[in-house]
Amino acid sequence: MAEGVSETGNGGQEVIFERVGSAAIIRLNRPKALNSLTLDMVRAIKPAMAELCRILPSPVW
């Protein structure tokens, strides 16, 4: 999975992706904007979620 796809204007990462064991974590990093989503952040998250759906096993309900 890509990590830190969406960049802030100051060179930092707005969206940080990581895997910890079987968990996938998407961290928003815009504290001054109360982590509100931008269109670029949604565009960064969408392919990461699609990749997770592809690589993770289907849940058993």
Neighbours of 28 (CB within 10 A): 18
3-state helix, strand and coil shares in percent for the chain, rounded to the nearest 5:
35, 25, 45
Whole-structure pTM over 0.85, yes or no?
no
Amino acid 4: pLDDT: 47
Q: Go through the domains of the chain in sequence order and give each one's CATH number.
A: 1-61 (3.30.300)
Neighbours of 17 (CB within 10 A): 21
pLDDT recorded at residue 9: 52
pLDDT of residue 20: 87
Query: Which residues of the chain fall below pLDDT 50?
Result: 1-4
**pLDDT value for 60:** 60
- Phi and psi at 48, nearest 5°, equal -65, -40
